[in-house]
Amino acid sequence: MDNQYQHPSPPPPPHDVAVVVVPLPAQGHINQLFHLSRLIAAYDIPVHVVGTTIHNHQAKTRLQGWDPNSIPNIHFHNFTIPSFPSPPPNPSLQQTFPSHLLPSFRATSHLRHPTAALLRRLSSQTRRVVVIHDSLMASVVQDVVSIQNAESYTFHSVSAFAIFLFYYDGMKKTTSLLEVEESVENIPKDIPSLEGCMNSEILEFIAGQYEFNKLNSGNLYNTSRMLERPYMNLLDRILPNKKHWAVGPFNPVSFLSNDRHVCLKWLDKQEPNSVIYVSFGTTTAFTDEQISELAFGLQKSNQKFIWVLREADKGNVFEAVKKLQLPKGYEERVRNFGLVVREWAPQLEILGHPSTGGFLSHCGWNSCVESITMGVPIGTWPMHSDQPRNAVLVTKLLRIGVVVREWSKRDDVARSDTVACGVRRLMASDEGVEMRKRAAELGGALRRSMAEGGSSRKELDCFIAHISR
């Protein structure tokens, strides 16, 4: 048998309820579920995190705000699966979805049997086994239905707004649509379609998970009703047979760091709200021409910046990484007001630093939640998946961001003047000042929602009470 189960530690003692967490092996997905594991473990419930050896190590290495080895009731299970292709990203493809990661996604099918073995072992030791799985890992946990004292919950890694729109698209031309539309008066009419957001391969992969998601007992979201109440309420209405819990933000809302990264030391020397943080996540691949235009745009903006410039993740992030090229002499020319970082950067801590006043982002939901939590407005430059719709949520509905790169112009190179204009609008305009004020207020409210008595804390308490019933 190709799969070998490796015990990370002695078997845990019997417990009333055990939770098994199954992330998709992509950084934005893994990160969110690791943070959720910490929240659940705080209720004295043992949490078992399932993954490949590579991807669990990836998540632990990059985790911010807490030490995953410091919480005794979080147990990491490293499963060995057959090797899978790990091709480099191809920035020349017209479709910007990171299709080079699909081999690692497909390889997760080999996690099914060792995960089922773990579930059966835990089911004999506990009154109830609760599985929380990424929506794109539903087939891996399909054996839950064969275990009498087990149940599963789907985690959606995107905003409630994006999930609602997915169902809303499917409801068009149905009799139930009118009632929903009457409740969504403020949704813009020009919402981007899903065309260009994903390629046929990932759509096929998603479709393969859809049937298994129907087996769940409810849905979890990394958001707060304080932040997305209209869309959570709509999900409650259009999916009344499922329970929905908005228990975010998952990420720590305050943290102490013993090892201060070079970025944080650089930020210590800057004025409050004077620096724009530039990062396009772990799946964005830019051409050399686009990197050059972005570089000159940041320079032209005359705004201080931290730019994380790394090759997009491969399926195995520990393989050699290509160094992306900047225009000759660029880093020397901007050294008085810009810092280019070519290694993994502590994004959460950078966003939480008082000198950071804006975030130029691809609008992945993980990044959006971290930025909103820290009260930092966003310059939007969506690349694929749910990102164009998250950009609408940020700019038009929450009004804590500006459009730097129009999704409708995704097939063209964004020129330096466009970049400079967008950055100045966010960082050096009266409009930007107002957005920063709104973002700070929203961030404060979001952090309070996780405190005792807050809406998200109440919802998390409700979920814990439900699975412990």
- The pLDDT tens digits for 192-225 are 998 899 989 999 999 999 889 888 999 999 999 9
pLDDT digits (tens, 9 = 90+) for 281-334: 999 999 999 999 999 999 999 999 999 999 999 999 998 889 999 999 999 999
DSSP H/E element including 36: helix 27-41
* 230 & 301 share domain: no
* 425 & 316 share domain: yes
Task: Measure Cα distances from 96 to 18, 21, 44, 93, 467 in Å.
Answer: 39, 29, 42, 7, 39
DSSP-assigned beta bridge partners for residue 308: 341
Residue 366 lies in a domain: yes
* 219 & 351 share domain: no
Model confidence, pTM: 0.93
- Give me the helix-helix angle, 365-373 and 430-449, nearest 10°: 90
Is 134 annotated as catalytic? yes
Residue 336 lies in a domain: yes
pLDDT band for position 345 (cuts 50, 70, 90): very high
pLDDT digits (tens, 9 = 90+) for 84-106: 989 999 888 877 889 999 999 99
Instruction: Kindly report the CATH number assigned to the domain that includes residue 66.
Output: 3.40.50.2000
Q: Which domain holds residue 390?
A: 262-448
* 164 & 183 share domain: yes
CA atoms of 277 and 200, how far apart (whole Å): 33
By CB neighbour count within 10 A (0-12 exposed, 13-18 middle, 19+ buried), where does 2 fall? exposed
Is 29 annotated as catalytic? yes
DSSP H/E element including 212: helix 200-213
CA atoms of 143 and 115, how far apart (whole Å): 9
What pLDDT sits at residue 187?
A: 78
* 214 & 268 share domain: no
* Backbone torsion region of residue 115, taken as left when φ is above 0, otherwise alpha when ψ lies between -120 and 50, otherwise beta: alpha
CA atoms of 433 and 200, how far apart (whole Å): 41
% pLDDT > 90, the chain: 79
pLDDT surpasses 90 at 253: no
pLDDT band for position 179 (cuts 50, 70, 90): low
% pLDDT > 70, the chain: 93
Domain count, the chain: 2
* Active-site entry in 133, 134, 244, 362: 134
pLDDT surpasses 50 at 10: no
Residue 96 lies in a domain: yes
